[in-house]
Amino acid sequence: MTDERSPPSDLRGRLADVFVPALVTGAVDALSRRLGNRATIDDPRHGRATSLASIEPLLARIASYFAEGHATYEHVCSTTGIDRDASEGRLAMTIGGEAQSVPIAIVAERRRLREIELRVYYEAEAVEGRKPRSPLLPVDVDTPLASLVESIVDSLRRSALERALAGFEEAARVVDPRGRVHSKADGTLGVYLSDLGDLDLQLAGAADDGRTACLEGTIERRGEAPAPAMFAFQRGDSGLVRELRLYW
């Protein structure tokens, strides 16, 4: 996705996969060249950039944030779709003087005329003056798992917890946006889903490689503003959900 008028970048691999490692290692210039001038970046803490003049300062701010926290990155999963790729990982870094493990996901959506939008998902503390992220436009998502996802979400919307749990294997687990694990076997998965309260999700796109379906959408919970979110559903042999990783 390098722009024709940009010098070549030495970053190799899918953009979703190289984005965070490049920022963690300080390879901001190489990443900027790789993005070119047809990219948009949307980060929950550092904001949105839609031009080369605004992208470079945004990349520098993110890289500085990672450097200040002595961040290291561990890759978890990559999923390739028709119009977007998703990459999941974990950041080990110091935030507010405390060592934390932060789940992070990148979605690189390919658009017409070689344009690309990167959306970054991780739990970030509020920044004064930062505008809320804009909701994603809802679309019909055609993936074998979409109907199961909609069934789970609809069940949560209707407070039908047992019906929602039926979509998960007995050994299934949910990894929440803070990286905490909730297992079906010990009952904590059901407690977590119940604690989510009223939940609505409007699907906006997906990357599905047959093993993992990463669904993007706009999530809305009672008392909170709508916000983009990503759900990574890992299939089990039964066709039900073996692991669900949440990012918002």
What is the mean pLDDT, run by run of 10 residues, along the chain of 248 residues?
46 94 96 92 94 92 96 97 96 94 96 90 74 85 76 82 94 96 97 83 90 91 85 92 95
Residue 42: its H or E element: strand 39-43
- Write the CATH number for 99: 3.10.450.50
Domain boundary among 105, 121, 137: 121
Domain boundary among 121, 137, 162: 121
Range of the domain at 27: 15-121
Q: Is residue 130 part of a domain?
A: no
185 in the same domain as 107: no
Note the pLDDT of residue 54. Answer: 93
150 in the same domain as 59: no
26 in the same domain as 111: yes
Number of domains in the chain: 2
> In the chain, count of helices (H) and strands (E)?
6, 12
Q: Is residue 2 part of a domain?
A: no
In the chain, which ranges are continuous DSSP H helix? Answer: 15-24, 28-35, 52-68, 146-157, 161-165, 188-195
Q: Is residue 4 part of a domain?
A: no
169 in the same domain as 113: no
151 in the same domain as 105: no
Of 141, 139, 108, 126, residue with least CA distance to 42: 108
Query: How many C-beta atoms lie closer than 10 Å to residue 29's C-beta?
Result: 14
184 in the same domain as 94: no
- Record the pTM: 0.90
Who contacts 64 (Cβ-Cβ below 8 Å, separation ≥6)?
none
Note the pLDDT of residue 129. Answer: 61
Domain boundary among 87, 106, 121: 121
